Every structure is written in C-alpha cells, then in structure tokens.
Amino acid sequence: MTEIRIGTCSWADDALSKHWYPKGLAAGERLPYYAEHFDTVEVDSTYYRLPAEPMVERWADGTPEGFVMHVKAFGLMTRHPVKLESLPPDLRDDAPTDDRGRVERPSRELRGEVFRRFLEALEPLRSAGKLGGILFQFPSYVVYKDRSLDYLQWAREQLGNDEMLVEFRHVSWLDDEHRDETLRLLEELRATHVIVDAPRIEGAKNVAPTVLALTSPTAYVRFHGRNADTWNKRGGSASERFDYLYSDDELREWVGPLGELAEQAEQAYAFFNNNATSPDGRGGRMAQAAANAKVLQRLLQSANVPASPKG
C-alpha cells in the first residue's frame, strides 16, 4: 500500500502564519519549519503571479530531500481573469483587456508564452526531484463542452513531461451524463483527476461531487471543508468560504476510501484547503488545515494505513 502524504494547500496563509508557526519566526524560515512537520505542500502563490526562478530555487534549497511541492497553475493558465499587472511587463502590450483592466481572451500564443515561462521557472524543483504536479483548478464557469475539451488537451500538451493535476469546479464534468467521458479523457491525457471533499449543496453547479476514481498513478485528494453557508456567500473572502474545521468523525469517513486509493496508486496525497482558524480550547486560535492534517495522519496510522510519519 502506497504511503499517503498529507499537507496543506499553502504554507504561508494567514491562519498558519498567525496561529501555527512559532511567534517571531521570520517569513523566510516558515517553509523549513513546515518541512519539519509535513513532507509535501501545495504552492498557492503561483496562482496569482508567475514564479521567479530564484524564488523557486530558495524553495528547493529550503526543504529536505524527498520533499514534494505541487504548484498551482497561474490564473491565466486555467482561464481565470487576471489583472494586467500580474503579467510580466514585456507581455502586457500584447494582452487584450476588459473594462476592469483584466486580461480577456488572450491569444494561444500569449498563453503559450505564459506556460513556457511558468514551467521554466520551476526547473530548480524539477532538478532537485521535488516537483510534484501542476494543479489546474478550473473555475466554475468552465463547463463541459467542446471548447473546454480542446483547451484541456492543448494545456496538457504544453506541460510536456510534467504531471497535470485537474480539479473541476463545475458539476457538468462529473455529473451522470459526462463523468465517464471526463475520466476517460483525463486517463488518455495522462492527467490526474483531483478528488475533492466539499460542501454538499443541493442544486449547486459550482461544487463538484466527490468521485473516487484514479486516472493516473497518482491519487490526489483536496479537502475544502463543508461550509455550505459560506460557499456561495456574495462578496465573501476565501477564508470565509473555506472556514471549516472537520470533526474526527468526518475525517474518519475518509480512512477507508484513502486506504483503497493507496492500494491502487503509486503515489498518494491529501491536502487541506480549509484556511481559516477555530478556537483551540485553550483561549486561543488554531489553524484548521494544519490541525486537521495531523488528525488525519493519526487516524490513518491507527487503521494501519501508511501516512506521512512527520512529527
């Protein structure tokens, strides 16, 4: 059975920074400290801006051998709206924008250059053997249709030998009508289906169901919390949307499925994206993601399912 490596969907969000790291720890020391407790992480900052190679080199140098970093694709790569200023200066003149200053319907040539620079910057992680997959979290308005299928295939071609992790946010990809076709396409593309735990909201189109299926040798699960009240809250922040502390019983529901996935996969990961805080029972606050990650480790190990043994 493959060991399940557990981590969080960032090492630098406010909840972790304020309520998990030791007081006074310098920002540059957070990743090494994180790596003392977990052996994998998702990089979230790359969604907002293209990574710079010197920064990626610091990530590689600041983590131990065997550490794995999965990197979230830049917003333009997943058809999200991005501000013009988030692009490198030399690419801005060729980028069409809407009336809000956001890049709108860029050419394939511009997107291709963004892909090239993104992937080039990750070389320090790749060379160190620490690069996991590139996480493509598509927005909820990217629905199952021919244009979306074409883009998915094109994006996969841009990645070359790097692993593509695909998370859909619109239900059409995994509903009864399209589920089999979606999984078959991901398998043909050698792309990993990202399994999600999210709120169960009747009739909601912007939350994908939990589909326990592998389309590659990688099992990849993301825990978004189950806060149905804030998922579609108008004007809500990310910390509100993902504000949820899983109970031990809710995480225990995953011990069996994770064990089954680990029996089929060559590598397995579970990440917590609940990035707010909860009372710690001692008058303070705790970071939900780190707390739940530790609980899941303990529950899996108690059930004899191999899980990241970090302290």
Q: What is the pLDDT of residue 233?
A: 76
With beta carbons less than 8 A apart as the criterion, state whether 269 and 7 touch: yes
Return the pLDDT at 58. Answer: 97
Do the Cβ atoms of 291 and 245 come closer than 8 Å? Answer: yes
Nearest in space to 278 (alpha carbons), one of 238, 246, 253 = 246
Q: How far is CA 82 from CA 95, 112, 255, 268, in A?
A: 11, 16, 38, 31
Give dist(CA 79, CA 141) in Å, integer: 9
8 A C-beta contact, residue 245 and residue 280: no
pTM of the model: 0.96
Domains of the chain, start order: 4-302 (3.20.20.410)
pLDDT tens digits for range 300-311:
999 999 999 765
User: What is the chain's pLDDT, residue by residue, as a tens digit (311 residues)?
Assistant: 999 999 999 999 999 999 999 999 999 999 999 999 999 999 999 999 999 999 999 999 999 999 999 999 999 999 999 999 999 999 999 999 999 999 999 999 999 999 999 999 999 999 999 999 999 999 999 999 999 999 999 999 999 999 999 999 999 999 999 999 999 999 999 999 999 999 988 888 999 999 999 999 999 999 999 998 888 877 767 778 889 999 999 999 999 999 999 999 999 999 999 989 999 999 999 999 999 999 999 999 999 999 997 65
Q: How far is the C-alpha of 270 from the C-alpha of 300, rounded, in Å? A: 12
Q: Strand ranges (DSSP E) for the chain?
A: 4-8, 40-43, 68-72, 131-137, 163-167, 191-197, 218-223, 267-272, 277-279, 285-287
pLDDT at 175: 95
Tokens of 215: 């389309």
Q: For residue 309, what pLDDT is reported?
A: 73
